[in-house]
Structure 1
Amino acid sequence: MSITTTSDSALYAARRDRLRRTLAALGHEALLVSHAANRFYLSGFELHDPQCNESAGYLCVTADGRDCLFTDARYRDAALRLWPEADLCIYGAGRFAAMARFVKDRGVRRLAFEAAGLSFETHARLAEHIPLTAAGMLVEPLRLRKDAGEIERMRRSAAINHGVMASLPDILLPGRTEGQAAWEIEKRFRELGASELAFAPIVAVDANAALPHAIPGETVITDGCLVLVDVGGRAFDYCSDQTRTVWVGDTPPERFATMLARVQAAQAAALDRLGPGMSFREAYALAREVFAREGVAERFTHSLGHGIGLETHEGPSLNPSADGLLEPGMVVTVEPGLYYPEWGGARWEHMALITETGCETL
C-alpha cells in the first residue's frame, strides 16, 4: 500500500462527508461499512479482503464526524499510514465486543450496517453487543458518478487494456491452448503496468465462445477458428474490461463475419446514442433493436453492459428491467453479443464515459 498524501486524505474525507449527509437525512447515527470496495472508496484502506470468509476490517462513518477504523494486528502499520491512532481500533479475539465498545465510547447507540455486505454470522455476533439496523446501499450511489481523478485513472487503466488487445495477434497463435493464451495475456497486462487482473481472463475457442463466462481450458487454437477474448486489468486502483472476437486464419466463414458485423453494429448503435438522461432500459434496447431487425434477438442473452470502477461489476446495470437514468460521470461497458452453442459466439466491448452531451469511448 502506498502512503496516502494530504490531498488523498482530503478526498476520502470529502466522500465520507457526502455519506454523512445521507446518514443524517435517514436518521442513522453511524454506518458500519463492511464491503471492501466501499471501505476503500471512503478511507483508502484495503481494496481487497483476504478471501470471501475473512475481512481486512471495517469502517464506521458517524453522523457527527467521529469516524473510526477497525482491523486486526496484521494491518496495524498499514492502517496508521491512513488513519489517526486515536480513531483506530485493533481488535483481537474479542473482535465484536471491542468494536461495540469503541463506537459506544463515541456516543453511538445503534449501528446501521450494509445489508448486502455483512454475513449472517457477523451480524449475529455483533448484535450481541450493540443494536443493529439494516441499511440499503448507501455508498454505492456515491460511487456511480466518477470524479475527475477517477476518470483519469480509468483512462489510463483502459489504455493498458487497449495495449493488451493490440498484442492479440502475437498471443492467439495456432497450437496454443486457451489456458496458455490466457497466461500470455496476464503477463502482458503486468508488462504494460497493471497491478493485477480485474477478473479471471476469458479465452474461448469456437463453441466455447458461446459460453459468456467461459473458463480457459485445453482447447487448442487452430489455423481456422474463432477466439473470444474478454479481459481486464487493474491499474491505479481502477478496473478495465474489454472484449474482442477474432478469426485466426486467412478467410473467416460467412457465418462468423455476419455474426461479428451484427455485434459491432449493435455496439455502434448504442455508443452513438448513449447519453445523460437515457434510461438504463433504453440503453439496452438500442442494441437489442439492431438484433431484432436481423432476426437474431433471441441470441442476445445478457445485459448491454454494467458499471465499472473500483470493481469490475458495479452499478448501473444496462438491462431490460433496470430502473434509473444515465448521468454524466458514469462509466459503463457496452458489450452486446450473439451466441450459437453449436459453433461459437461473438462479443465486442468497450468502456464508455457518459458526458454532458453524450458518451466517450475510453
Structure 2
Amino acid sequence: MSHPSRLDALKDHMEREEIPVLLVLHPANRFYLSGFALHDGQCNESSGCLLIRTSGPDWLLTDSRFTEEARRHWPAEFVHVHGMPRLEKIAEFITTLGIRDVWVETHAMCAEMYLELGKGVHLHPAPRMVENLRTIKDPDELAAIRASCALNHRVYETIRPHLKPGVTEKDMAWMLEREFREHGAEALSFPPIVGFGPNGALPHATPGEDRLASDSPVLIDMGGRLHGYCSDQTRTWWIGGTPTDAFRRTLDLVQEAQRLAIARVAPGVSTDDLHATAKDYFSCHGVAEHFTHSLGHGIGLETHEAPGVGPIRPTILQPGMVITVEPGLYYPEWGGVRWEHMVVVTENGHDVL
C-alpha cells in the first residue's frame, strides 16, 4: 500500500472517531505514513512528526538537520522546519493554521512533552489508529517480512557450527550481528539474547563473558531488520554429548505446545485462545509455573507491536497479521528452552515463516 493510500485509510479512521487533527509522534507510525525516519537518533530526540488533518493539507514538521531528507519523502511546500525550543515552536506553528485542539499519540510522549506541548494547544489522547492499520500487512510488507525471516534462518545456519566449548556469549552475539550486517540487514531488530547454561533461564539474558561448557544448553533469540522489517526467532540447542533427560523433556514440551498453538492460528481466533492453548498444555504436564511470559506478539516495523498474543487485551486474528509463537520453560538451576516461529495469518489459516 502506498503512503498516500495509508494516509487515506488513517483519515477514514479519524473521521469515524471524530478526530479532525492528529499529531503523529511515534517514529514507526511516522515512517509507515511517510517513509521518513523509521528511528529517532536518540531516545531524548525526535526527527520530526506528522500533522494529519481530515481537511486541509498535511504537514511534516522537523528541524534543520532533516530538511533535505524530509523533502525526499514529503511535498516540500508542506515541510515545516521549526526552530528551538522544539515543542514551543511546534505549538506556535499549529496555532498559525487556526488549530487549537490536537489529538496526540500519548503512548509516544513522556509527561514533560505532553505538559510542554499542552501549554500552546489543547491536547486530547488519541486511540492507536496507526498501529491498528499496521497490524494488517499488505503484500509488499509480507514479502519484506519473509525476506527478513529467511535471513534470520541463514544466520542461524552460519553461527551454529561455531557453538563450541570455550566461546563466550559475547563472541556469539558479535558473530550473529556481523552475519546479519554482511548479508544486507540495516540493523538488528533488538539486542541479541544469548544464554549459556543457567543463563538460558533468563528470558531476556544479556550476553556476557560466560564461556560455553562442553555439555550445555544454549538459548539464542535474535532478529535483523531488512528493508525496514524485523525478524525475531528463538532456538535452543544442546551443545556437546547426550542431552540431559530434563532438557529433552523440556524441549519436547515446548515444541509440542508451540505446535498446538500454531495449529489454532486462523482468522476469527482470539489471541488469548492461542496463549491458553500453550498454557493449558503445560498445566496438563505440571510445568505451567515455568512458563513466565506471553505466548508471542505482533511483528513488523517494530519487533514488538500489535497484536499482543497473551491473556491481556485479546485481539481477533485477521488475514495479513504476523505474529510470533514462542512458548518457553525456564529452570534457574540449569537453564531454559524457548522455540519461536513467525506466523502469517492467511485467508484460510496460517503460514509458518
Tell me which interval the TM-score lies in, with the shorter structure as reference length: over 0.9
Tell whether the 8 Å contact from 1:163 to 1:192 is kept in structure 2 after alignment: no
The match for 2:73 is 82
Distance of aligned partners of 1:206 and 1:24 in 2 relative to their CA distance in 1, 3 Å threshold: same
The match for 1:309 is 300
1:226 is paired with a residue whose SS is: strand
Q: Choose the corresponding residue for 1:281, options 272, 292, 302.
A: 272
Tell whether the 8 Å contact from 1:29 to 1:108 is kept in structure 2 after alignment: no
Q: Within 1, Cα distance between the matches of 2:237 and 2:205?
A: 16
- State the shift of 1:97 in Å: 4.0
Q: How does 1:103-182 map to 2 (within 5 A)?
A: 103-182=94-173
The match for 1:220 is 211
Q: Within 2, Cα distance between the matches of 1:96 and 1:243?
A: 41
Tell whether the 8 Å contact from 1:238 to 1:310 is kept in structure 2 after alignment: yes
Indicate the larger mover: 282-291 or 40-49: 282-291
1:268 is paired with a residue whose SS is: helix
Corresponding residue pairs, total: 353
Q: What do residues 228-259 of structure 1 show as CA deviations (whole Å, max 9, x unaligned)? A: 00000000100000000001112111111111
Cα RMSD over matched residues? 1.3
Tell whether the 8 Å contact from 2:220 to 2:236 is kept in structure 1 after alignment: yes
Normalized against structure 1, the TM-score is what? 0.94
- State the shift of 1:312 in Å: 0.3
Tell whether the 8 Å contact from 2:159 to 2:175 is kept in structure 1 after alignment: no
Q: What do residues 245-301 of structure 1 show as CA deviations (whole Å, max 9, x unaligned)? A: 001112111111111111111111112221111111111112122212221111111
Q: How does 1:245-284 map to 2 (within 5 A)?
A: 245-284=236-275
1:116 is paired with a residue whose SS is: helix
2:257 is paired with a residue whose SS is: helix
- State the shift of 1:138 in Å: 1.6
The match for 1:185 is 176
- State the shift of 1:173 in Å: 1.8
The match for 1:16 is 7
- State the shift of 1:29 in Å: 1.9
Mapped pair 1:63 → 2:54: yes
Q: What do residues 296-348 of structure 1 show as CA deviations (whole Å, max 9, x unaligned)? A: 11111111100000000001111123322111110000000011111110000
The match for 2:91 is 100
Tell whether the 8 Å contact from 2:165 to 2:212 is kept in structure 1 after alignment: yes
The match for 1:45 is 36
Tell whether the 8 Å contact from 1:112 to 1:133 is kept in structure 2 after alignment: yes
Q: Within 2, Cα distance between the matches of 1:65 and 1:165?
A: 50
Identity fraction in percent: 47
Mapped pair 1:233 → 2:224: yes
Q: Within 1, Cα distance between the matches of 2:77 and 2:211?
A: 58
Q: Within 1, Cα distance between the matches of 2:300 and 2:256?
A: 26
The match for 1:6 is none
